[in-house]
């Protein structure tokens, strides 16, 4: 899909606002969505006599990026002028008393609050949190497995996110983009009566994937939250439940 086509679809979705899926596959469960991929993987493994074949897809990334790859090591490979496009980051070793050292590392990398913390090795948004101050940082490092590496990264406040799938064959000088996934943060608006949980479940889109959002409410401390006014707008993210007053 061309970028212009993807942007046009996203714009149409925002104007439509009825919660209908963009495609037949959008709300499929992960196990069903990835079943053809797993079947193809097994077929290629049998054909070539090696089930680790997919790990050769990205030779500069641990295990080809299939699992266990380090975010910091991947970002460290970005060179030249395009490196300025990266959100600033640093990595620290987690410990219950490591907040001061983490803040010093952040200062060296020109990162201040609010910032994003995430496991250096992780996937699907697990462990990603927005930290607003030292108290949040202390809590995060206290709860994180000691001795494991944590990424601290500059918060990017621009709306929207894009996942770009780029493929280059080893014999090609330049590859091509095979797909673009555009994402935006779901928003729910309070009515002064419903809890945040109820608002999420009632939303035509967020309610269909509520298993991604509801477990995060406990961390944010808003499981029983009720929007006090109709103007309360809540951004529903997997990494944070954020509240904004109009």
Specify the pLDDT at position 130.
Answer: 92
CA distance 218 to 130: 15
Stated pTM of the model: 0.69
Specify the pLDDT at position 8.
Answer: 60
Question: For 67, left (φ over 0), alpha (ψ -120 to 50), or beta?
Answer: beta
- CB-based burial label for 120 (10 Å; 0-12, 13-18, 19+): buried
Specify the pLDDT at position 53.
Answer: 84
3-state secondary structure of 154: strand
Chain Cα centroid distance, residue 25: 20
CA distance 23 to 242: 28
Q: Write the class of the CATH domain 71-154.
A: alpha beta
Q: Mean pLDDT of successive 10-residue segments in the chain (246 residues)?
A: 54 55 72 90 91 86 87 94 93 94 96 96 86 95 94 89 88 90 79 82 84 69 47 52 34
Specify the pLDDT at position 237.
Answer: 55
Specify the pLDDT at position 163.
Answer: 87
Specify the pLDDT at position 189.
Answer: 82
CATH 3.30.1490.20 segments of the chain: 71-154
CA distance 206 to 197: 11
């Amino acid at each position: 899909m061309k970028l212009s086509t993807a942007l046009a679809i996203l714009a149409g979705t925002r104007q439509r606002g009825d919660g209908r899926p963009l495609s037949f596959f959008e709300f499929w469960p992960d196990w069903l969505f990835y079943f053809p991929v797993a079947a193809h993987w097994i077929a290629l493994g049998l054909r070539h006599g090696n089930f680790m074949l997919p790990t050769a897809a990205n030779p500069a990334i641990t295990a080809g990026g299939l699992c266990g790859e380090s975010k910091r090591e991947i970002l460290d490979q970005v060179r030249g002028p395009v490196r300025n496009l990266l959100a600033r980051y640093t990595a620290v070793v987690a410990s219950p008393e490591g907040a001061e050292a983490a803040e010093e590392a952040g200062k060296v990398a020109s990162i201040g609050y609010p910032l994003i913390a995430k496991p250096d090795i992780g996937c699907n948004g697990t462990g990603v949190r927005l930290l607003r101050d030292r108290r949040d940082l202390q809590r995060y490092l206290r709860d994180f497995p000691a001795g494991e590496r944590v990424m601290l990264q500059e918060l990017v406040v621009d709306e929207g996110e894009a996942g770009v799938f780029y493929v280059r064959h080893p014999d090609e000088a330049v590859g091509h983009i095979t797909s673009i996934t555009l994402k935006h943060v779901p928003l729910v608006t309070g009515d002064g009566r419903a809890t945040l949980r109820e608002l999420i479940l009632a939303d035509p889109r967020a309610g269909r994937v509520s298993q991604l959002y509801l477990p995060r409410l406990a961390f944010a401390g808003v499981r029983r939250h009720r929007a006090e006014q109709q103007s309360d707008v809540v951004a529903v993210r997997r990494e944070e439940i954020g509240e904004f007053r109009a």
